[in-house]
A and B are shown apart, each in its own frame.
Chain A
């Protein structure tokens, strides 16, 4: 199994550009989520999904959109990039939304917005 995969690994955008960060998992996990990691702030939840067709907002959703058309894929869209969105983005998945389940993380996408 490849686990959780993310593309691209690195991306540089100009302010106002849009892009999609890809995330896929091959473990048949129901629950998927997106986090951003900023120095001194840990990881903050952007959006999450408890199954195909179901998404919800996390702690810092503004400026980001998600959709979940299949169990495997959970792309994150930046509609109009801003310098404040410079960060490292991690996708994660787990079996279900149960509280006891540990999450599996992808390798991350390092995004710089100029």
Chain B
């Protein structure tokens, strides 16, 4: 079975600093990887995905993610975090059914 893991429950950063949210995956074959964000009391919103091609994927709201096959990772990054980026972030893998990680709560302090 395909799965993803998010090793950090929480990430705290200061506004303006780089933000990284970690995700590792376990799949057989080519992985189809996604990042979603959930703002308080809202549904999930799609940020970006890796299907094939360039290892650096750019998405919404200035986020990007780096696919690393040798380390089986798909970390989400933002060069300069904003207070409004505070939310719950989910990594997911799609094997015709979407499987989510446990989520990482990001808090950006002013």
A: residues with CB less than 8 A from B are: 4, 33, 40-45, 48, 58-59, 90, 92, 97, 99-108
Contact = CB atoms under 8 A, between A and B. Distances in A.
Contacts of A108: 41-43
Size band of the interface chain B makes with A = 20 to 34
A106 B44 CA distance: 8
A106 B97 contact: no
B46 A102 contact: yes
Interface of B: 9, 32, 34, 36, 41-46, 49, 51, 90, 94-103
9 contacts: A48-B97, A90-B44, A99-B51, A99-B94, A102-B46, A102-B49, A104-B46, A105-B45, A108-B42
Nearest to A43: B100
Nearest to A100: B51
Nearest to B95: A99
Contact of A99 (B96, B100, B101): B96
Contacts of A100: 32, 49, 51, 94
A91 B48 CA distance: 20
A105 B97 contact: no
B46 A42 contact: no
Contacts of A97: 96
Contacts of A48: 97
B66 to A, nearest CB: 19
